Amino acid sequence: MSTTPASLPLFDPALLRPALADALRKLDPRVQWRNPVMFVVYVGSAFTTALAVARPDRFVAAIAAWLWFTVLFANLAEALAEGRSKAQAAALRRLKQTTWAKKLEGEPPRGTPRTALHWHPLESQSLRKGDLVLVEAGDVVPADGEVIDGIASVDESAITGESAPVIRESGGDFSAVTGGTRVLSDGIVVRVGVDPGETFVDRMIAMVEQAKRRRTPNEIALSLLLVALSLVFLGVVATLLPFSLFAVQAAGGGRPVELATLVALLVCLIPTTIAGLLSAIGVAGMSRLLQAKVIATSGRAVEAAGDVDVLLLDKTGTITLGNRQASAFLPAAGVAEAELADAAQLASLADETPEGRSIVVLAKQRFQLRERELGALGAQFVPFTAQTRMSGADLPAPGGGLRPLRKGAAEAIRRHVEALGGVFPPGLQASVDEVARRGSTPLVVADGRRVLGVVELKDIVKGGIRERFAELRRMGIQTVMVTGDNRLTAAAIAAEAGVDDFLAEATPEAKLALIRTHQAAGRLVAMTGDGTNDAPALAQADVAVAMNTGTQAAKEAGNMVDLDSNPTKLIEIVETGKQLLMTRGALTTFSIANDLAKYFAIVPAAFVATYPALGALNLMQLASPSSAILSAVIFNALVIVALIPLALRGVRYRAVGAAALLRRNLAIYGLGGVLVPFVGIKLIDLALVALGLA
């Protein structure tokens, strides 16, 4: 089961019905006060409603009704965004279930047989940080923790949605287990790492619950700007009534502007569109990240991803495939390349590692050497060990005895052939060194006492990754490859991948120092990590994405967790953050721009009775002053509904620089914000005339 709900249409009844009810509940003034701009509309709605009740008037009543709709539509935008998050939270809650744990009595020595362990049953909610539990085949992991003994196959589909089981074992970077997952085979001893209510699933639920979402610094800054604009327009509108009264008195005739008209003018001029959609944009951004199976601890982390200047990317699994592939056969002097390929394939027939299979495939492709069965050849497979650093096969020799075929590290093969009375060819070391300088791994092949040559194993750079880095460069983001390889190897792979810089022979201290150097220069840094040794750098980075397969220390240090444990997801996270900022910027531009058209619609209509000369500004030729005012108010409400899909789905992401993005926003959303209201208000005016309401 996936953690994210099935994708539903934005206005699907399953989301729309509860969202409408929630939008009505949000009419509580204590809720409205949190959005100052919409609170002004809320107060104006209540004021015009009071005017309509005190002195019944169809025009004033219509103004009051559409002002309430404006508030309601803004609430609906936020409620729809929250509804998708609540659906995700509901899916996560279904993961939580009362399970029984096998709590151990004391800490047994490592390697103690499971049958000798003493445990007693305990509800998972009663476990505390530091407790030890036994989890055997078929058991559900009762809480987040770390494997301290044993190895097991674990089904994490309830968390990640991936059906393939993963291996969890003590020691290393794959020791973390998550509560709610299930052990499929063997058994492990787990040290509980959290107290009740602090599990990974609990934190996921807290993140997606709207009540837990806090506004980000950029969102707060934009809100302050919108409040400032609203105060300016409030001051302007407040002075219009005295001017109107003075003009009527001085002229000895005419009618002063009505209070309901002034309220309508204020609502149409303040930036209600972006104010009504601002919260929905933020919630939807976090929801999109969760749909990509990335859990962020806060909206700040998502937004910071959009402002990142430097990406620190691990080489293995991110920039390269991680599995070395055979790419060339380099024979020793006096040896044919086909002979080397044949021996290398025979030595690799039973080798199920990606490297071994790639040697078999390369020999088949280059020399049409068909795979042969070791059993049919009467051969015996020799597995790789850390002591010998070689693998291969022993084949029957034509004259009796065995023909040992070996492949392995150069020094290991040197010792092997010398032990058999052979000699390592002096010229072959140059080929070994050249392969290493290219960033590849040299694998030497020997047939008995003869060294046949070198197989080059290359860590293949992922297809399309160079183009992705070029896109990031156009966006002004610097990419830095981090690897434990030596500088020669790192430089070769960095050049092929197209990264801007690299850190070779990386240690935890070196990573931390690099991040601090960039931050001291005023840059925002993002990085990924999965091991305990990555925790210091993850804690220092502005956007820190920990792999779900990583250690508990890495997940606690990061501010995001990638459920898929895919290091390349960092690029997608940055794009999601950029999309959130682009959406907010685009809709802010549109909101401020469309005030211009509403000005030409409502100001002449509001004051034509006081200043008849203002009739010349009625550029849209609206039917009447009351129709003009009502059309502008209706458009102001409906445009929020029209923009809800854009706010929730986000503006289409484009890898362009800030200057190009600003020009695009001004051309599309700035110009569109000016033109669309002219068309919309005119169409509403024609509809009101046709219905006899003008």
Judged by DSSP in three states, 599 sits in helix
Name the residues annotated as catalytic.
Answer: 314
Digit-coded pLDDT (tens) for 406-445: 998 888 999 999 999 999 998 899 998 888 877 788 899 9
Res 253: pLDDT: 63
Q: Is the pLDDT of residue 258 over 80?
A: yes
Cβ–Cβ contacts within 10 Å for residue 393, how many?
A: 23
Digit-coded pLDDT (tens) for 492-525: 888 888 999 999 878 888 889 999 999 999 888 9
* Domain covering 294-319+462-563 in this structure, CATH number: 3.40.50.1000
What confidence category does residue 2 fall into, taking pLDDT thresholds of 50, 70 and 90?
A: very low
Q: Is the pLDDT of residue 564 over 80?
A: no
Res 201: pLDDT: 64
Res 418: pLDDT: 92
Query: Which residues carry a binding-site annotation?
Result: 351, 355, 384-391, 407, 530, 534
Q: Which CATH class is domain 100-207?
A: mainly beta
Q: Is the pLDDT of residue 5 over 70?
A: no
pTM: 0.64
What's the CA gap between 284 and 56, in Å, rounded?
Answer: 41
Res 4: pLDDT: 42
CB burial string 548-557: b at 16+ within 10 A, e below? bbbbbbbbeb
Residues contacting 552, CB < 8 A, separation 6+: 144, 145, 146, 176, 193
Digit-coded pLDDT (tens) for 96-117: 566 788 999 888 877 778 778 8
What confidence category does residue 199 fall into, taking pLDDT thresholds of 50, 70 and 90?
A: low
What's the CA gap between 656 and 450, in Å, rounded?
Answer: 57
Q: Is the pLDDT of residue 3 over 50?
A: no
Inter-residue contact 121 to 100 (CB < 8 Å): yes
Same fold, 100-207 and 321-460: no
Q: Which CATH number fits domain 321-460: 3.40.1110.10, 3.30.565.10, 1.10.1740.10, 3.20.20.370?
A: 3.40.1110.10
Q: Is the pLDDT of residue 158 over 70?
A: no
Judged by DSSP in three states, 629 sits in helix
Share of the chain above pLDDT 70, in %: 86
Sketch the domain layout of the chain as residue ranges: 13-87+218-292+574-691, 100-207, 294-319+462-563, 321-460
Res 491: pLDDT: 85
Digit-coded pLDDT (tens) for 315-328: 776 787 766 788 89
261: tokens are: 């008209």
Res 60: pLDDT: 92
Query: Which residues carry a binding-site annotation for ATP?
Result: 351, 355, 384-391, 407
CB half-sphere exposure, 204, CA atoms < 13 A: 32
Q: Partners of 526 in the beta sheet?
A: 311, 543
Res 322: pLDDT: 65
Q: Is the pLDDT of residue 654 over 50?
A: yes
Inter-residue contact 74 to 272 (CB < 8 Å): yes
Report, as an integer, the average pLDDT of 134-156. Answer: 87
pLDDT, mean over the chain: 82
Res 620: pLDDT: 74
Q: Partners of 133 in the beta sheet?
A: 103, 190
